[in-house]
């Protein structure tokens, strides 16, 4: 049989050797570069037992054309075992514009749920135990839905230090998927970091930014580019917080969340996730 000598590459163009030996990892130090799960540099996971100890939050991105219809679906999802909620706002809500603005009036109730007041937010979560669940707010304009969610919790008598969830609040997400509604980058960054700082002090179980490379990856970048985009965006937030000096950086970065893609190149994706944890720990 004639062996195939053709050079193979991963999905991101990384050359793949025909065979690997211990010499390929001789520069790795176990304690420095890998370590145990739940311990620096977190290569094997940020928790000791990872998903064997607790499954990831199960939630589906949901948003119907009215708060009441959305609430009905949320109730159905919760009853069948969903452990969190994920709001998909309509376009006018997502870009922070009033429903009677002629520039977005035709978009009200399309592609998600319209939320323009605290009463709308309360209608979405009516009868749902938000103190027991985690909520994801796909919110792009510096987190305008987040204050409404917090106020709803306070009206229910739930302390903010018990409220769990995540705000999208990531500039690169929206700049890669919505070219029609682009906030000024510097203004967005200022507002985004404001929210991270505030939550670090007042809502310690809330993640006020989720750096999302999932959508840019679906738009055509590879795993290496995805990592670069993710790290560069996170560093920009850190640099802004460092410039301000209001919140200790250790406290600030603990409020970061990340949403990465997992594509079909099995081993490359595993290597990417492990490398991302180690890189973030070093940063």
> Quick one: pLDDT at residue 80?
95
pLDDT tens, the chain, 283 aa long: 666 778 899 999 999 998 999 999 999 999 999 999 999 999 999 999 988 888 888 899 999 999 999 999 999 999 999 999 999 998 888 878 888 888 888 888 888 999 999 999 999 999 999 999 999 998 665 567 999 999 999 999 999 999 999 998 887 777 776 666 677 888 889 989 999 999 999 999 999 999 999 988 988 999 999 999 999 999 999 999 999 999 999 999 999 999 999 999 999 999 999 999 999 888 8
Residue among 202, 217, 200, 201 at smallest CA distance from 256: 200
C-alpha–C-alpha distance, residues 276 and 278, integer Å: 5
Backbone angles phi, psi at 215, to 5 degrees: -65, -45
Q: Does CATH place domain 55-282 in 3.20.20.240? A: yes
| Tokens matching residue 170 | 């990531």
Backbone angles phi, psi at 107, to 5 degrees: -95, -5
Residue among 100, 196, 180 at smallest CA distance from 142: 196
Report angle CA 33, 35, 40 to the nearest 5 degrees: 85
CA distances from 155 to 45, 85, 121, 151, 252 (A): 37, 19, 12, 6, 27
Instruction: Judge contact between 209 and 237, C-beta under 8 A.
Output: yes
Q: Can you list the positions of beta strands (E) in 162-275?
A: 164-167, 206-207, 209-212, 256-259
> Quick one: pLDDT at residue 181?
67
Query: 3-state DSSP call for residue 114?
Result: coil
| Tokens matching residue 74 | 């949320």
> Quick one: pLDDT at residue 232?
93
> Quick one: pLDDT at residue 180?
64
Q: Which residues contact 259 (CB under 8 A, 6 or more apart)?
A: 210, 211, 212, 213, 214
Q: Output the DSSP codes for 73-133.
A: HHHHHHHTT--EEEE-B-HHHHTT--TT-TTTGGGTTSSSB---SHHHHHHHTTT--GGGS
Q: Is 55 exposed, middle or buried (0-12, 13-18, 19+ CB in 10 A)?
A: exposed
pTM as predicted: 0.90
C-alpha–C-alpha distance, residues 5 and 3, integer Å: 6
Instruction: Provide the total of helices (H) and of strands (E) in the chain, helices listed first.
Output: 11, 9
């Amino acid at each position: 049989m004639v062996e195939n000598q053709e050079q193979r590459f991963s999905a991101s163009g990384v050359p793949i050797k025909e065979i690997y030996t211990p010499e390929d990892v001789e520069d790795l130090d176990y304690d420095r570069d890998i370590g145990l799960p739940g311990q620096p540099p977190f290569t094997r996971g940020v928790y000791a037992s990872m998903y064997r100890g607790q499954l990831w939050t199960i939630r589906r991105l949901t948003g119907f054309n009215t708060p009441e219809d959305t609430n009905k679906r949320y109730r159905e999802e919760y009853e069948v075992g969903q452990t969190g909620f994920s709001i998909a706002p309509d376009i006018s809500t997502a870009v922070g514009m009033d429903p009677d603005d002629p520039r977005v009036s035709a978009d009200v109730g399309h592609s998600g749920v319209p939320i323009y007041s605290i009463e709308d937010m309360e209608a979405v979560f009516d009868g749902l135990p938000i103190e027991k669940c985690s909520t994801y707010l796909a919110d792009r304009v510096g987190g305008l839905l987040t204050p409404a969610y917090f106020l709803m919790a306070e009206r229910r008598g739930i302390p903010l230090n018990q409220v769990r969830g995540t705000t999208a609040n990531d500039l690169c997400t929206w700049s890669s998927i919505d070219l029609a509604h682009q906030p000024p980058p510097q203004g967005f960054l200022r507002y985004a970091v404001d929210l991270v700082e505030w939550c670090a002090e007042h809502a310690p179980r809330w993640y006020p930014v989720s750096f999302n490379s999932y959508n840019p990856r679906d738009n055509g970048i590879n795993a290496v580019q995805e990592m670069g985009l993710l790290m560069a965006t996170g560093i920009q937030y850190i640099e802004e917080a460092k410039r301000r000096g209001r919140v200790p950086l250790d406290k600030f970065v603990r409020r970061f969340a990340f949403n990465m893609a997992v594509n079909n190149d099995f081993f490359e994706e595993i290597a990417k996730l492990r490398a991302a944890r180690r890189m973030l720990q070093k940063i």
